[in-house]
Chains A and B, each alone.
Chain A
């Protein structure tokens, strides 16, 4: 008998391997920021031990919106129409409240054609992870400026953007999203921690990931290039995420960090960097974003977190059972009920 033991396969706490979280092969450009986001999503769902079949991944249209095909092959996916993923996701989540929904869209998808749906999504605090792969351009239609492009940014062809930008994080904080973060596709550690926090959060998470388009917006003069982000990315804090199933949680010591307990019992450790930033302070968050814009800084981290507000299921007084699985006996009232109504109409 052989004595060389086969090393046990590495699995997460529900016994799945990382390959079971992978998606199809990407068809995006090599070096596109969106690919890095897909990779982090695979890691985050694997490390959090989410059952892949419980996940619904949705998107609109764009290079970014193709991303759901590149992660979580074992989850149902829906590449819908341009700018309308919020509506489709809302319907899906309400139909089955046990799903964990993740939307991946672009800045064109969200901030232009879909801005109306995005703003109304923010108002509802539907449990959902909403990622904007933000590159300041319409990648798929070959590089036109998008509404998140900074004032004064230069296009690849040399033209200047002279329109004010639309900040999806500011809108998110203002209109009711309960977890709002900005991060950079190149910052693996921060992006991963934020994704895990969003998985643990039972409300609407908006994650604006600066995700450079190497083909149309990675040149000098761009404010969304890898080079620009290297110089202008200012992390607000260092984030550690301790999942609810991790026993280390119990041994955490009080320290310099702020600890936020997430809905599932996980702990988000927010460690101070340069400044003391309180992500539960709404006004502070808004001020910080405005100041950063003036200072030409891209502040990253969890900008705002509120674990206290009720979510959309509560607002609608919905039953705990997913609507999709309610049996006929529950969804069709009795003949007696109809007879009573008929009597009233005689």
Chain B
């Protein structure tokens, strides 16, 4: 068995919450609250969950863009937060990120050429000719021709901007890419183009992905394994097919039931969870999902369920894994 390219152990990222008079610390926001992470070389690990559950924070911590409050992140065995300057710089070239917002993540005053070249300059790719060559080649790979070079972001559609963002991230030939909701803002037909592109590039460039999204069908499609997050923790993790076939955690079941099922035979009765996601400043005792869980019992409030391996590679944090939903939660619609 090979070594993980990226691993995180008991990762936490807490943010101080200021409030009241004089901006005193009023509490702690537990954005990521004890997550173990292991990504194998060449693998795509998907992270799925609703907004605010800590996906982006986890992605940033994994890249070393945010230092963890506790726990450590290792890239090829080395703690990325204890590296010297030059090692860190090399690391920046090895690990890259693509963001959700194809508008906000590109500098409107920079041409495509400048945007994609920037990383090469920072990493001292020496000759001007070589830089030019690599930029043109990379743009070609993401499906943009050289007539785009001297144009500005606003001249492009959302899908094309996302391609520019991907070219910028991949021009340094990284080995590890965090894709943070790269298709969430795109129309379905454009979304499929970008997803196909990410799959092709992964195969061609032998990349490893941490793929973040809130749509379970999208994450499952592209990922080998999927981790489901809720309020800063991983509640279930499994190979994609297994997660679909045998979800163990009630939250996963609810997410699955809400996923696009365009075909009549595949459509499911949605499981409707009550209420909103609680605040990460003051998460519920015991199981964090219990306030919305249709099958919660007293033990769920008293004891935090650990993330336990139920089948090879299939982990869930629930006192009643795999239990079926009561009818009241399953809304008969249509």
Q: Do A and B bind each other?
A: no
